[in-house]
Amino acid sequence: MTAPASSRARARVLVADDQADVLEAVRLLLKLEGYDVDGVGSPAAVLDAVERGHYDVALVDLNYARDTTSGIEGLDLLSRLKQVDQTLPIVVMTAWGTVDIAVDAMRRGAGDFVQKPWENARLLAVLRSQVELGRAVRRARRLEAENASLRPAHVGTLVAESPAMQPVLQVLARVGASDAHVLITGENGTGKTLFARALHEASWRASGPFVAVNTGGLSETLVDSELFGHERGAFTDARAERLGRFEIADGGTLFLDEIANMPASVQARLLRVLETREFERLGSSRTRRVDVRLLSATNADLQAEVEAGRFRRDLLFRLNTVEVRMPPLRERREDIPVLAMTFLERYALRYRKTLDGFQPSAVQAMLEHDWPGNIRELDHAVERAVLMTDGPRVTTEALALKAGREGGPRIDDMSLEDVEAYLVRKALERHGRNVNAAAEALGLSRSAMYRRMQRYGL
């Protein structure tokens, strides 16, 4: 026997029927199951109730005028209800049900169909299912709105005029429209997230959600909860249930960044989802199904991680149906002027500056710089230059690039922040971009290392 609504958050049901005895029968049945019930007797009253209050589901009769059996009033009401609240689950009921009416009701937004006289078990099962579905949809919309508020206002466009970027464009053209899992490799700041979004927008899933998760800076429990969600009480701070990113991304694309740092236990669960499209939330035994395209990214050598026993070989096979490498900025210098102008226009607009471009010496300085932080470092450098520029064009001095292709920075010329950025970068280079090893060498935790990498565009 399934748990009654009272064992969860109490669901609120709106029942609409022009017969008082029907309203009373439904009210008594649902009250025993722990539902809160409001009853109304006309389409106008239904619309008024939905506009004034929140309901988890509406149980709506299709006929209201005496001696009518066409269901036209109820079908029109369905369309109007969806205009008021697109997320409200609606179950229609009628004593004069036909296949055509049921099909039309579903087309107009009904979630299910019940004939009078109803079977109590069937009615309760339908309502229970629609309540859970409606709540999931509303939670997903709220979380998607929260995710959107955390994204940068400007996502950016994929600049790819250099020869080094042509293989990347070829992958986009050949597999973008498919459901193939893609592993994106490359140094930090090379545009892996931007390319993942381009793949999403090139696919049939473009109208669905694009959900990005950086798995590198999260603990094992947090990664598990972020990806698969949790039930209330699943762990100490789980005060309410939460949808995981797989559920939020259902019908769309899930992008997992820094996947090489994913804990072993979570790797096993991820492999299962990729193989079966099924998972359970933390603290729940209920199996859920999702339809998600997975894109992943890393700056590590995953084959080396496999050989070292830190990454599952079978998971790697699942992830890299197609593998693409994003070249570092130093290998695609032809793109630097275009990227720099893109950033200049963005920040000039943001900070209300009137700028024509860069002085020739500033362009030359950017072409000669090594850009260890890649596109992210260029972005930050241009933003700083826009803030520091008073004239019509950005100067070399405003860019404040500390080191070019030859030689390294002088400690005497560096601020404390510059020194820290330099040490973090060197540690990453010395340990082959292995974040865990570099963090250990610097005496930092992995999360502290990631905070510094993000701060310095590394």
Domain ranges of the chain: 5-144, 164-327, 330-408, 411-458
CATH architecture classification, 411-458: Orthogonal Bundle (1.10)
- Predicted pLDDT of residue 98: 61
User: Residues near 104 by Cβ (< 8 Å), separated by ≥ 6?
Assistant: 71, 75
- Cβ atoms within 10 Å of 46's Cβ, excluding its own: 25
Low-confidence stretches of the chain (pLDDT < 70) are 1-9, 65-71, 96-100, 102, 141-157, 217, 221, 234, 236, 238, 403-418
Q: Do domains 5-144 and 164-327 have the same CATH topology?
A: yes
End-to-end CA distance of the chain: 54
Q: Where are the alpha helices (DSSP H) in 192-285?
A: 192-201, 220-228, 245-248, 264-276
CATH architecture classification, 164-327: 3-Layer(aba) Sandwich (3.40)
From the candidate CATH numbers 3.40.50.2300, 3.30.470.20, 3.40.50.150, 3.30.70.1520, the one assigned to the domain spanning 5-144:
3.40.50.2300
- Predicted pLDDT of residue 145: 52
- Measured distance CA(353)–CA(334) in Å, rounded: 26
- Measured distance CA(270)–CA(272) in Å, rounded: 5
**What residues pair up with 253 in beta bridges, in sequence order?**
210, 293
- Predicted pLDDT of residue 133: 85
Write the CA distances from 137 to 89, 90, 134, 243, integer angstroms: 10, 13, 5, 10
Tell whether domain 330-408 is in CATH 1.10.8.60: yes
- Measured distance CA(326)–CA(53) in Å, rounded: 51
- Specify the pTM: 0.58
